[in-house]
Structure 1
Amino acid sequence: MEIRQLKYFVQIAESGNFSRAAEILRIAQPSLSQQMKNLEEELGVDLLLRHARGVTPTELGQQLYDHARRILQEVDRAKDVVRSRSRNPSGKVSVGLPTSACRGLGLPLISALAERQPNITLHVVEAMTGYLDDFLQHGRLDVALLYDHKAFEHVAWTEMMVEDLMLFVPPHHPLAGAEAVTFREMFDLPVVLPGAPNVMRTVIEQFAARHDVVPAAMACDSLPTISRLVQSGRALGVMPHFAFLDEMARGEMVAIPIVEPTPSWRLSVVVSQRTMNPRGAEAVAEVMAEVIAAMVESGAWRAKLTGEKSRAEPRAAAR
């Protein structure tokens, strides 16, 4: 069994068609069919079920597909490790961005990396902070921007800034012209928040507990849906100013400061110490930190820079 055969088999299984797989792999279809025949003869089982619409993996074929994908991923990671030892960082780096920051940060980050680290292939993952934190702990991400991240082993982190949360209302709302709204008054209104265990809801609930406030709010984990709810006036949103820059620029929302108290959270650039591409991950984290700092200093991102670094556990094997 060869790595090449596993690659061919995975592509056929995912394409569901020999001709489509051959086109993607850029090899002749007869040659691809012969490779699969050789593989099935070697293993002594049928891996693919042929039918009028194409092919699907058999039960044993599905098991091989699952193993083959993991093997091919490990091969790619091994290549990244070797490449990362070279003078210039290269290879694939997976970076996680929280939903509320991805729209504003994604393009500047990708542009800066393309200019400064052209040999790095960036894989951007957008999700709520809780999911990104979990992905980082389980090795599915190399770098992430996290709100109030959990402290755990095998990560290095740089706290970048503190960001206040604000109340978002449609422009026709009675509060649209208000200078501020108190934290207590806010919950007399229909408010929408991400659901538990999202970091924002945790922050809000902790603030509420300290100030004897019951934080009744609708739960929604979709930022586009929260945006539409606010624009329609069905609910008011609580988000950082950076989350809805586009909507505010189009005159679809107004941001109102929240006071007495002002809820806030801290953002950190976090790097996995278990990454298979340490030089690439560190290079991406450095560029991300610089892009964020520049956006804050220019006023594009409303926040206060801090710049506190962790004492990360040494990574002897990665040096």
Structure 2
Amino acid sequence: MARSRIQVRHLLYFVKIVDAGSFSRAATQIHVAQPALSQQIGELEESLGVSLLHRSARGVQPTAAGKLLYAEAQAIIHRIEHLPDFVRACGEDVKGVVRVGMSQVLAASMAKAITGACNVALPNVTLHLVTGTSEHVTSRVREDSLDIAMIFDGDFASGVARQPLFKQQVFLVLQSTTQVEQNPMSWDGLRNLPLILPAHPHADIARIVDALFDDGSGASPALVENDVWAQISAVQAGLGNALLAMGDLSPVKGGAEMKAVPLDPPVYMTVSQIKSAEKPLTPAADATMSVINNLISRHLDEQKIVGGIRVGP
């Protein structure tokens, strides 16, 4: 028997069922009869040729294939929901100035691609890009001196509306000529390496450092200003190695002289997009946000963000 085509409603119903944890709760939430909902999921499983849900008296849980589909279905639904905004964003009638903040690490790896995409999609929008620490650009969003920003999320990001975009793996960044015995590098292996860290590291980086040096069994790291370029310059000068949420060093000046080694176990930092929780965005800022979201989603699909994974179950 020929397999039926997968339709958007199949994906939407599947996501709702996984979120609800049962067919009956999902049926109530989306106002669809439970037998019809079961039939839709049956069609989806038949189309894919795999079982997607473990069914039990206590509810449902996604299978391994179901977890994969859940993440992909969320991305597809998100893009479809934002398709009208993205199409409108490409219109030449969208005009204005948009102030975009980015953490320095994200700007180092993504600013060129983001400004290029916005220039093509929004030719009449002027982009003002501001970089700094995640804490700094978050405070500027609160003060209304930035419209939107991309940050590494943390406790400091209260009082703003935020949307997680993806998780970025943390890497050990060192000179390309440096020989390491482990790849990926264990946390214990870091104890034997000179580290260059910002004076006030992000909480996720601080957690690694605390685990390494609190017991006094390793040398204390060297501290520099809270400036990613100071860390990169120190690495290039051979003064030590850095811990950065950056797996692709090619966009960085002198990136060919460095390499990024993953950690074992891996550590991830959540990248979020933030805006004011009180003031609505201008049409130009809203269009810019849509362009950035679509670019990141596409880069994740194409695995262009080294060490980047979607936020999902």
Q: TM-score range by the shorter chain?
A: 0.5 to 0.7
The Cα shift of 1:265 comes to: 0.6
- Give a deviation string over 1:12-35, Cα, whole Å, max 9, x none: xxxxxxxxxxxxxxxxxxxxxxxx
CA contact (8 A) 2:114 2:295 kept: yes
Distance 1:184 1:280 in 2: 48
Show the counterpart of 1:269. 273
User: 5 Å matches for 1:148-227?
Assistant: 148-149=153-154, 150-153=156-159, 155-175=160-180, 178-196=182-200, 198-199=201-202, 202-209=203-210, 213=214, 216-220=220-224, 221-227=226-232
Letter in 2 for 1:192: I
Show the counterpart of 1:133. 138
- Equivalent residue for 1:106, pick from 88, 103, 111: 111
Show the counterpart of 1:278. 282
88 and 246 in structure 1: CA distance in 2 versus 1, 3 angstrom threshold: closer
Show the counterpart of 2:11. none
The Cα shift of 1:276 comes to: 7.0
Show the counterpart of 1:256. 261
CA contact (8 A) 1:92 1:277 kept: no
How many percent of aligned residue pairs carry the same amino acid? 18
For 1:174, what is the secondary structure of its paired residue? Answer: coil
247 and 118 in structure 1: CA distance in 2 versus 1, 3 angstrom threshold: closer
Show the counterpart of 1:60. none
Q: TM-score, normalization: structure 2?
A: 0.61
- Give a deviation string over 1:228-282, Cα, whole Å, max 9, x none: 22123211011123462345985301211111x3222100111224557532222
Distance 2:210 2:284 in 1: 42
Distance 1:301 1:145 in 2: 15
- Equivalent residue for 2:304, pick from 300, 306, 309: 300
Distance 1:277 1:255 in 2: 37
Letter in 1 for 2:204: V
Stretches of structure 2 that go unaligned for 5 or more consecutive residues are 1-91
Max radius of gyration: which structure?
1
Q: Give the RMSD, CA atoms, in angstroms.
A: 2.8
Show the counterpart of 1:71. none
Stretches of structure 1 that go unaligned for 5 or more consecutive residues are 1-86, 309-319
256 and 191 in structure 1: CA distance in 2 versus 1, 3 angstrom threshold: same
The Cα shift of 1:142 comes to: 0.6
Distance 1:242 1:262 in 2: 12
CA contact (8 A) 1:143 1:271 kept: yes
Show the counterpart of 1:36. none
- Equivalent residue for 2:250, pick from 217, 222, 245: 245
275 and 106 in structure 1: CA distance in 2 versus 1, 3 angstrom threshold: farther
Distance 2:305 2:178 in 1: 25
For 2:167, what is the secondary structure of its paired residue? Answer: strand
274 and 94 in structure 1: CA distance in 2 versus 1, 3 angstrom threshold: farther
Distance 1:212 1:189 in 2: 12
Q: How many residues get paired? A: 217
- Give a deviation string over 1:106-134, Cα, whole Å, max 9, x none: 22212211222223221110111111111
The Cα shift of 1:98 comes to: 1.0
Show the counterpart of 2:124. 119
Q: TM-score, normalization: structure 1?
A: 0.60
- Equivalent residue for 1:291, pick from 288, 295, 298: 295
111 and 204 in structure 1: CA distance in 2 versus 1, 3 angstrom threshold: closer
The Cα shift of 1:223 comes to: 2.4
CA contact (8 A) 1:100 1:242 kept: no
The Cα shift of 1:186 comes to: 0.7
Show the counterpart of 1:79. none
